């Protein structure tokens, strides 16, 4: 499937087509309830909407493992 978006392609339909047909895995430290002001672009906002509403959310607690590993490597 080719999901390159041209100016002629409907940008409103592209995120629905993409998310509906492609398995997506998104791992992030950003919580799902981030303010919409942080994503002002239409496409980023639309894709995030579809990912978040169909996501399995696993909130984590504590320090980031990257930070913990970086500190132990530096020692």
pLDDT of residue 27: 54
Domain-embedded: residue 19: yes
Domain-embedded: residue 42: yes
Apex 53 CA angle, 9 and 63, nearest 5: 115
Domain count along the chain: 1
* Region of poorest pLDDT, from 10-14, 28-32, 39-43, 54-58: 10-14
Its domain, for residue 67, covers 14-74
Domain-embedded: residue 7: no
Domain-embedded: residue 54: yes
Tens of pLDDT, residues 44-69:
667 677 777 766 777 778 888 888 88
> CB within 8 A of 16, min separation 6: which ones?
50
């Amino acid at each position: 499937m080719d999901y390159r978006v041209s100016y002629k392609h409907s940008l409103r339909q592209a995120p629905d087509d993409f998310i509906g047909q492609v398995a997506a895995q998104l791992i992030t430290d950003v919580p799902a309830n981030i303010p919409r002001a942080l994503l002002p672009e239409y496409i980023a906002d639309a894709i995030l909407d579809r990912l978040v509403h169909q996501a399995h959310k696993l909130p984590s607690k504590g320090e980031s493992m990257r930070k913990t590993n970086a500190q132990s490597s530096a020692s």
